[in-house]
Amino acid sequence: MPELLSVRGLSVDFVTDGGVAQVLDGISLDVGPGEVVGLVGESGCGKTTLARAILGILPTGATRIRGGEVRFKGADLLREDPGAVNDRVRGRAITFIPQDPYTSFSPVFSVQTQIMDLMKWKSPRAGHGGAARSSFRRYPRERRRADRDAVLETLRAVQIPEPTRALRRLPHEFSGGQRQRLMIAMALLPQPDLIIADEPTTALDVTIQAQILRLLRTLVKERGVSVLFTTHDLGTAHEICDRVVVMYAGQEMEAAPADAFFARPAHPYTRRLLASVPSPGGEIRDIPGDVPSLIAPPPGCRFHPRCEYATAECREGRPPPRVLAPGHGVRCHHPVDAPMGADG
């Protein structure tokens, strides 16, 4: 299957007062057409940085892309003309659902103003052409009317009650769950090939989270849209993903189809992470040690200082990718071959 998005060896540095932090260290990751891929990892592991690097919205001053490529439909987004990426890819072929539905809308404009402003530039009916050159471009009445119909239809699809009246309201009149539904609608409206969802349910209650996850999964499957879904919550990943990639300290550790990921994880980190989810029996197991500093990260596999299987070769170099089963890859010298729970 040709991949829709293919990240290869991407390395990103942040320049900070304390030194250069190697936030991403040779990350590789694939997203196939129509696939929902979960990007799982703890805070600070670089999942948001990766999402932003793919979208090309890393802060320009303090970040440096050290190497690698981000291939989207065959073209390397890091080397394309930035104007063309902005015009054709960002917000069109790749859209974004943010984590926090509370601060992602402007509080002073109606929802209609904000959605129609998006549609003016990014609707599938809008022509191409540098936005900067034509920022005073008229929004033709006919296209506006067609776009508005599409907006109402999408609001119905995300189950916003009374969409015509909803459009006239201000963001604060919606609950968190409703605002996240609006965000999903806005991500779907440009008819993208890929949606990058950055922890979209973290701020919501479990009952609302279940509603939103079900809605998102149904809509993207109906429309054949791929999703890269970052989350630190393994339960959420289990609910929505076809495939899961786990990251630790800026390196990808394991990628597997969701079933295999949860049933037969091979990387020691994945296994410790899954074991630290509180079990119904009340058993609690943590991972000894702390997440390493990214300014002076451990050499080789960055998990080795906390890994019970670590040997000298783990310190020497990063383990090469190893394929255990179709679609199940791991970067570890000592992968565990046992179902989850078997190693106690």
Partner 1 sequence: MNAGAAPLLEIVDLVRYFPVRNAFGRRTGWIRAVDGLSLAVWPGETLGLVGESGCGKSTLGKTVMGIYTPTAGDIRFAGREIGHLPARARRAVARDLQYVYQDPGASLDPRWKVVHSLHEPLKIHTRLSRPEREREVGAILAAVGLPDAHLDLYPHELSGGQQRRVGLARILTLRPRMVILDEPTSGLDVSVQASVLKLFRSMQEAFALTYVFISHDLAVVRAMCARIAVMYLGTIVELGDTAAVFETPRHPYTRSLLAAVPRIGGRRVTLDFVLEGEPPSPRDVPSGCRFRTRCPLVQDVCAMEEPPLREVDGRAVACHFA
| Residue 20 vs 340, nearer CB to partner 1 | 340
Q: From residue 83, how far is each of 79, 128, 204, 297 by CA, in Å? A: 11, 11, 36, 35
Residue 295 interacting with partner 1 (CB under 8 A) = no
Interface with partner 1 includes 209 (CB under 8 A)? yes
Of the candidates 30, 31, 34, the one whose C-alpha atom is nearest the C-alpha of residue 224 is: 34
Show the 3-state SS of 9-69. Answer: EEEEEEEECCEEEEEEEEEEEEECCCCEEEEECCCCCCHHHHHHHHHCCCCCCCEEEEEEE
Mask for 76-115, x = binds partner 1 (CB under 8 A): ----------------------------------------
Which one among 61, 207, 222, 326 touches partner 1, defined by CB under 8 A?
207
Identity of the amino acid at 27 = I
Buried b (16+ CB within 10 A) or exposed e, 36-58: bbbbbbbebbbbbbbbbbbbbeb
Q: How far is the CB of 61 from partner 1 (least distance, A)?
A: 24
Residue 142 touches partner 1, criterion: CB under 8 A: no
Measured between alpha carbons, how far is 45 from 28 in angstroms, rounded to an integer? 14
Which span (6-14, 110-118, 219-227, 270-278) binds partner 1, by CB under 8 A?
270-278
Residue 316, CB-side half-sphere exposure with 13 Å CA sphere: 5
Q: Does 222 bind partner 1 (CB under 8 A)?
A: no
Among 120, 217, 318, 334, binds partner 1 (CB under 8 A): 217
Q: Decide: is 146 part of the binding site for partner 1 (CB under 8 A).
A: no
Minimum Å gap between C-beta 41 and partner 1 is 9
Summarize as ranges the residues that interact with partner 1 (CB under 8 A). 42-43, 175, 177-178, 205-211, 213-214, 217, 232-236, 238-240, 262-263, 272-274, 276-287, 290, 340
